[in-house]
Structure formats: structure tokens, C-alpha cells
Structure 1
Amino acid sequence: MAHDSTTPLPQPFGSDFQTDPYSVFAQLREKGSAHRIALPDGSPVWLVTHECDVRRGLADPRFSVDKQRSGSGFKGFSLPPALDANLLNMDADDHLRLRRLVAQGFTPRHVDGMRSHIQRAVDTFLHQLLKRMDTDGQADLVAEFAKPLPLKVIGDLFVVPAEEQGQFSEWISGMLAPTSRQDLIQTIGSIHRYLVDLLARRRANPGDDILSGLIAARDETDQLTEDELVSLTFLILGAASENVQHQISNAMVTLLDHPDQLSELRGKPELLPAAIEELLRYAHPNLSAIRRFPTEPVDIGGVHIPAGDTVLFSLASAHRDPARYPQPDRFDMHRADKGHLALGHGLHYCLGAALARTQLTLALDALLRLLPGMRLASAPEDVRWTTTFRFRAPRELTVVLDPGSPTATP
């Protein structure tokens, strides 16, 4: 079944979506798997909602991430070439070529060697959170803990000066949720100029770090272009910090909203790995995977999708699909089916999956173990969210400690 091009495309990302995107996805799933819709900027896309089709599509080589394959007027971010030549726009050989250059720094073995460094960062920002609570009686868990933690971890891995990490984080946040098109253009320009300057400084003073290794791969062995070097740096610094920040925030909202399971988890910390996998399914911030473009006509759920059209595989819809998960809208850390798509599937499986899981594990362990009296300052339904078709995360997360509750020094 093909879409009638004369019919106005529905735009599902309105006020109902802002309030509860999962209900909107549920309504779409009931009507079928593939839906021709319009993004907020008017771009036409196909949104795929059934878990089986999302899982198959993410691993199907006929779906390219290369924007040169787009034939449907895809807009996306107005990125300069030096920020666009990254893994999210590359297929097969080029993707694997760049991935191999940085993969060694993100293997489970290498990440395990970073645990003590990550733990020190967790302790630093937990102390900062406690200090703010002691001073003000409450604190924003996002600003004091969830946001600075992953930025410091990845920033230190790339040896980004500590005093520059905060500004870079603000630029990334502004790019993902811009207030206007002009602000978006200015923010992207600032990011580009900063990365060019950072690379110039590291070229002048190389060290034993991932970024210096990438520069050497560019300058000494010509394994990547200058644009690829800048873009790869942009992708890793931005994605690695922003995604973990949002996952920590979403996880804490979920746990604090489920006191029975939270209490059990505090009493049985050995359940934390299982809880994290369920949190990645239930509360993953990325609502959709990176857009893709079929290299040939494909059929999904009885719907014909032409080559070159933009396709969004909805992770959030897949993770709440009752055909895969019994009672999918229920958070259940004892859920038998631990499979999810939060960290990708197929060629584009998340390069930093081990690093993300380690940060999430150490962060949640510290928050739950050392702050047993922490709770939301207001009702969960009063939490203010940033919700776009791409992601959903709290803008802030004000928490307090119950009077007289014990705390431990990190």
C-alpha cells in the first residue's frame, strides 16, 4: 500500500506527543507498522513502529545512513562537511574503517581499566550534589550530577581541558533542542570552530590519548580525511556525553517513581545489572534511531517504501510493543526478556556501549547506595521534559533528602 501524495501528511509530534509520546506510538502501532508522516520542520518520513520490523530494519544493509542516498528532500541539521563526515552518515567499508581507528579505546577490557577513573568522577559529582542539597535544601540532579559526569569521563578520555567541557556541553544541548533556526546555525558554527582549535592545539602538543592517535592516523598514515577527523571527534564527544546524561536522568525518574522496586534494588544491589537493561528498554532517551534511506524499494508491514525515502525506526515504539514485551508499559526489573535496541543493532551498534553501561552502573549504584533518602521534590507527573521526535529527557530533576535520612561520604 503506497501513500497518496496528494493527502496532507499527519504530524504526530504535537501537544499529545509532548505529554506522552508512548501513547502516540501505541496508537500508530495499532494502525500498522509503517506510517508516512511529517516531521516538525515539514520533512516527509516513514516512521516504523513494530518491534519486529524495527529490529530487522536496523540490521538490513538495504537501509543506508548515507545522506547522499536520500531522494526525499531530507533536511536534518545544517552541518558543515567537517561535522557531517561521521559514522552516522557512513555505510559498510567507510564506517568500519573509521570505527576501527577508535574501537580500541572503547572495548570492554579498556573500559574496565577506566573504572577507577569513572568512580572518582562519580564521587566528585555526588559530593557536589550533596553540597548543593546541604546549602539549598534541594538540588538539580541533572545539573549537578547527570550532566557533568559523562562529559568529564569522555572529556578526560580525549584530554579536553576541564574548563572547556561545560561550554561544549551547552553547545551540544543547544544543537539538539534549538530555540530557533538561527540559534542552531550559530551553535553549530561554535562547535565547529572549537573542534578545529582543539585539534590544532593537540597537534602542537600530542599525547598518549585517543584524539592524538586519531591525529596521527590522519597526518602520518592518511587513514582518514581532515573532515572525518573533525567529525569523528564531534560525534564521540557529543554523543557519548549527551546520551549517558539523559539515560542517568531518565533512569532516576523511573526508579524514584517505582518505590517498591527501588527499595528492593537498594536491598539487593546484585539486581542492578538486570535493572539497567530494563531501564534501557523502558526509559531510553532516544525515541528513534538515526534516519535511514533504502537503497532499493522495500516493503514493511504491507507498505511500499520507495528507494531514497527517509525512514525512522522508532526505538521507543519498539520497546513498548506488546507483541514482543508482555505489559510493555510496566517497568519490571525482573522481566524475563532483557533484549532491547537501545544501544543499536547490526552494523551501527553503539561503539561506546561498554562505556555507557559502566557509567550508568557506577552512577546508579552510588546514588542508590549513598543517598537512600533521596526523593523527587515534586510529583513525577510534574517533571518538565524536553521532548522532540529524536529524544526525551528531563530538563531538570529537583531532588531532596528525607529529614534525618542517612547519607554516606563518597
Structure 2
Amino acid sequence: MTTAVDLTAVDLAEVNLKEEVRGAAYSPTARSDLARVETASVQGKIVDYSNKKLTIFVGAAIWLVVVSANILSKRPACQPNQQLLLEQEEVSSILNNVQNSNVHDNTFVTNIKADNQPSLDALYKRVAPYAILNAGGRADDVRCHPGTREIVIGRIEQWRRQASDGVTANRMFWLKGPAGAGKTAIVQTVAESWKWSGIHAANFFFFRTDSSRNHAKSLVSTLLYQILDFYPSAREAVKTILASKPRILDASVEEQFLQLICIPLRSIGPSLSQSIVLLVDGLDECDSEGKNSQRQVLHALNTLVSWNELPLLVLVASRAEPQITMAFNQLVASGSKFDSLFLDEQFSPDNDIHLFVTAELNSIKRTHSLAYLLDKDWPSDIDVEGIVTKSSGHFITNIR
């Protein structure tokens, strides 16, 4: 018995068509990914396969796989509307080897399994990996030199403990200072210390020249990604929200915090064993042109910590730029409270810079290939003091 396969208006190779169809049906490419097949006519319907992975549609696509650019490179040897006769057994053999397909009573059947289970894929696609502590390849991956910035770090740790224990109602802390004062190094040192101490801290480091983290679009997704590592039981609630509100990741920052962090965490309330600290560094580098996002992020973070039933704390580090200072002033005017610390002379930056410079110069003396040319008393105290004076309290001068 033979079956007529209608190949109307399809380019046919000059090679033996049966062998091509048979080879295509059995090839791994045809069975697993037919993304290059542009269009196919199946039982009178046009199915568009452009730019898609077609594993579940292979059964249908195999009928016209001969139009694939991988298979055909020559012009037709047949005329349009010509029919090709194939033995029924050959057709059945070819098609029965197609994934999830079979031929029964001259009927071609394809079983398509659709996975409609909620997932976190949409969330993962919005995560900014370089915004997370210890991400590889970061240009701003710096730490405080051992023994430096101890007073500042101690103040931040004191705030965290008191806010966690309810001693203070101020659940937000603003670390502010001029460019180059060492804010990012302090935040990263604190974050790393908390990580090793088992304290739940999620972080986001804005960076002006990195397009994946110089805006607020990935802020909530990246923080949530880390929170779910601490509390996996909240994942199901997040999945449900992502499925029921597919555009939530395009909503305002405040709405995302509400729907994706507050509500899921509230659903696992008894499981929240300790405070979660959100560290947001470099807020002044978020949307540095428009600056509107900076105010929106601050107001959203303030709303977040106002959920008294959730143990959420926020540490923000930024320059004290006018629009950020104004946003914090607006929070105070609305009744909100927060702790703050300005990195100025009261925290003895010169002493810390002296310690850092001395250590770095001694390291050069020990390790540099031309160190034998240096005087044995190098560096002198005068040299070190000169560098410290020129630094004017800015660590970044010595790092660069």
C-alpha cells in the first residue's frame, strides 16, 4: 500500500527525497530542535516555528522537515503540486520514531505535553548577578583593610543588633559620604562578615557603568533571589504570584516589594527565625541621569520596613546628593525614622589611611622584583604622612 504525501509548493532536493526524509526523521537535530524550520503546512494549517525550540512540535514539523536550511541547499527537481509516493510502512516507520508521535489507521498522532506548572524562571531572568556579594568579574569588589573602619563597622553592627532585638524602632540605616570615602568597601566588609556569621543579608550593589545594575529594574528580583535561599518555603508563594500576575516584574518597585517579598514572607511567618537585612549600596549610581528611581527606591524600602510583622531591616549607602537627601527628609516629614552616619573626620579616616598605606608599601618592599633597590628604611614616616595628607580622607586616592 502507498500513501500520497502532498509536498505542494515545497522546495525538494535533487537527491533522493525518501532518503532525506528518512535521515531527517532519525537525526538528533530533527528530533530535538527544529528551530531553523521557518514554516510548515500541516493538515492544511500554517504553523510558525520561527525562533522557537520545537521539541514538543517535532511530530508535526517532520512532515515538512525537508524545507529546513540544514537539509536543503539545492533548487527543486520536482514541479509544484507534484505528489511523492511512499510506502505506508516507510511512512509509519519514520513517523513512529518521532518523539511523542505514532501512526494508527493512516492517522498521524502527536502527543504534546504542556508544562503549566508555575516556576521561578521569570524571576531568574531578571536577576543581576554582578550586583550580588562576591560575584566574579566585578570592578568594585573591594574590602576594608584589616584594622580599618572598625568604628564605622561597629556602629552598623550595633544598629543591626538593636533593630533586630527591638531596642530601636529605626529599621533603616543610611551610610553616607563623599565619593571615594570607602562606602562600598565598608558595605562589602559588613556583608561578608554577616554572611560568615550566619546572618541573613541580601545585597545589591549599584554600579554606574554596568548596564545590568545601574537601574532599579533588577533590584527586587535580585534581592528576592537571595532571600529565597534563606527561606525556600517561600518559593511556592512566589511562584503562585508570578503565575497569577505575569507582569508583576514590570510593576513599580514598591509594588514588587509588596507582592514578591512582603506577601510571600508573611505566608511563612512562623518560619522567619531571624531578621533579614537588605543592603543597597551606591544608590546614587542608580539611574544617575534621571534620578527619579532613587527617590522611588527609597520610598519603597521605607514602606517595606514599615511592615512590623516582618523582620526586615535596610542598610542604604550612597553619596549625600541633594535628591537623595531630600528623599530622606521627606521620609522624616512623613513620620519615618532612620539612623544615619556620615563618613567625615570624626571617624578618623587619616588614621585608617595611614595604616592602609603603610601596609601596602611594606608589601611592595617584600614582594616587588626591584625591591632590592629600595633603602632599608623605606618607606619613611615622612613619605607615609605626605600620602595621607594628600588623600584628604579619601581611601580611593590610595587604592588607585
TM-score class, shorter: under 0.3
TM-score normalised per structure 1: 0.24
Higher strand share: 2
Larger Rg: 2
| Higher relative contact order (Cα pairs below 8 Å, separated by 6+ residues) | 1
TM-score normalised per structure 2: 0.24
Higher helix share: 1
